[in-house]
Amino acid sequence: MKNTIFAFKDDFPKYKQIYEQFKLFIEQGDMLANEQMPSIRGLADSLHVSRNTTLMAYEQLVAEGYIRGEGRKGYFVNELEPLLFQEAFISNKKQTESKKSPIVNFRADAVDQTHFPLKIWRRIANQVLTLEDSFRYGEPFGEEALREQISAYLFQSRGVKTNANAIIIGSSTQQMLVYLGHILKDEFQSIIVEDPGYDGAREAFQFHRFMFETLPVNETGADLSQLEQMKSRLIYVTPSHQSPMGVSMSIQQRQMLIHWVDKMRGYIIEDDYDSEFRYTQKPFPALASIDSARVIYLGNFSKSFLPGIRLTYMVLPEPVLTRYKKHFTYFECPTSLLSQLTMAKFMELGEWNRHVKRMRLVYKRKMLHLVSELKKQFGQNISIIGEQSGLYLLIKLHLNRSEEWFIRRASSFGVKVCPTSLYFINKKTDHPIIKLGFSHLTCDEIELGVKLLKKAWA
């Protein structure tokens, strides 16, 4: 270690603080046996103390056997007896074990890396870097080139008629919901959310102290019969692929919801987060395609392309758009200008549509393989929910154990699975439900993971 720096406390001798800090470095293994200590002069200059203060600290370390002096060479760390730092070692070992990577991770927040169009994306990104537009601050509501491409894409794929001016670009669904909540909270004090439903959306609404009413959702879909008894005029839904249950709202339910919001003179917040990946039938049209005046539409590129790109978009009806732009005109867009321009060009060249078509086939193959393996290993002991679309599915376990037990047992066999209890508010399940993401896994990894789960839960 050539040198170091740290803050001193006022009520403790400085030489003793230096001594304690280096003692900790040595005991925790940050400084190894025979490693040279910083020089007396160098450390004193770095810490803005006298050389005598540093020397006193070193003499204390020498006296206790932590370091040794070797004439003009300086001071060096001694090899310590194991008992001296056994406690620190055990603590570090426990932390390391807790961070040990699982053999198979059924996480739901990743995408397939092997099929990512890396060369194409890199080539376009390099071209964008040569443009004059890349060397400026971006537009507050997102780059026009990207907003125009999204407008064309939404009309083609989701039936949503809009123009570039009505589209807002952001960095995440949560960020956009926080901004949106800021301009809606004066008119709406409460909101209807799905139960179970996306916990990240609830956190965004709680940030603005919205009160909640809940819309029950089960394996067959949302129960809209209770809407008439609710007082809220604002509702947040995930109709194309309900989060987390994976069910889709039928066209009849969509029309019923539109009729309700028209009557209430409120708004539907439609989160269409991964509508690109439907495997058994064509996607239903978005709610925003039925009534654009009463629907706030959200979409993103995280699930269908790359989470790290941090690109989300929102289509706002005219009254909300006016308020939004009034409030946020002087705020900078939270999304990278380079990512926006690269994605705009990516879409313009037709690469986006090619990517979605390719990944739909890739993910369908993985979904079918996961379903097949689960049925083979577990048979009637589980029910599979949501295999028609999306990048994960749910399994309801018909075994007399808790969710915590299933997750802990899976982990002990090297498999990470995700809970669903965090999505529930009032509604409770009769059996534990586990979430299995498959997008980033190979078919061999899926097969191995299910076999390990069988051993864990047998």
d(CA 341, CA 289): 27
Q: What is the CATH number of the domain that holds 437?
A: 3.90.1150.10
Give the start-end residues of each E strand in 120-226: 167-170, 190-195, 211-218, 221-222
Is residue 123 one of the residues assigned to a domain? no
Residues 6+ apart with CB under 8 A from 270: 237, 238, 239, 286, 287, 288, 295, 296, 297, 298
Q: Please indicate, yes or no, whether residues 233 and 264 belong to a single structural domain of this protein.
A: yes
Tell whether 58 is covered by a domain. Answer: yes
Assigned domain for 124 exists: no
Domain of residue 410, residue span: 104-114+354-457
pLDDT, one tens digit per residue, over 149-199 is: 999 999 998 999 999 999 999 999 999 999 999 999 999 999 999 999 999
Q: Is the residue at 120 inside a domain?
A: no
335 and 368 fall within a common domain: no
Please state whether beta strands 392-397 and 433-437 pair in parallel, antiparallel, or not at all (unpaired). antiparallel
Are 162 and 185 a contacting pair, CB within 8 Å? Answer: no
| Structural domain contains residue 2 | no
Residue 122 lies in a domain: no
Q: What is the pLDDT of residue 84?
A: 47
Q: Which residue bears the tokens 């889709």?
A: 248
Domain count, the chain: 3
Please name the residue ranges forming H helices in 265-397: 287-290, 318-328, 337-348, 351-378
Based on the fold, state whether residues 296 and 255 are members of the same structural domain. yes
CA-closest candidate to residue 286, choices 254, 321, 316:
254
**Co-location of 342 and 404 in the same domain:** no
Find the CATH number of the domain harbouring 43: 1.10.10.10
- What does the pLDDT look like over 65-116, one tens digit per residue? 899 999 888 999 998 765 445 544 444 545 544 456 789 999 988 899 899 9
With respect to residue 121, please indicate whether it lies within any of the assigned structural domains. Answer: no
Residue 259 has pLDDT above 90, yes or no: yes
Number of helices (H) and strands (E) in the chain: give both, helices first: 15, 16
Residues 147 and 199 grouped into a single domain: yes
Is 7 inside a domain boundary?
no
**How far is residue 19 from each of residues 14, 64, 85, measured CA to CA in Å?**
9, 11, 16
pTM of the model: 0.78
Long-range contacts of 152-155 (CB under 8 A, 24+ apart): 153/347, 153/352, 154/286, 154/297, 154/299, 154/315
Amino acid at 101: S
Tell me the pLDDT tens digit for each residue of 288-313: 999 899 999 999 998 888 888 899 99
CB count in 10 Å sphere of residue 433: 24
pLDDT digits 0-9 by tens, 112-150: 989 999 999 999 999 999 999 889 988 999 999 999 999
Mean pLDDT score of the chain, rounded to an integer?
A: 90
Whether 195 and 299 map to the same domain: the answer is: yes
**281 and 185 fall within a common domain:** yes
Claim to verify: residue 149 and residue 85 sit in the same structural domain = no
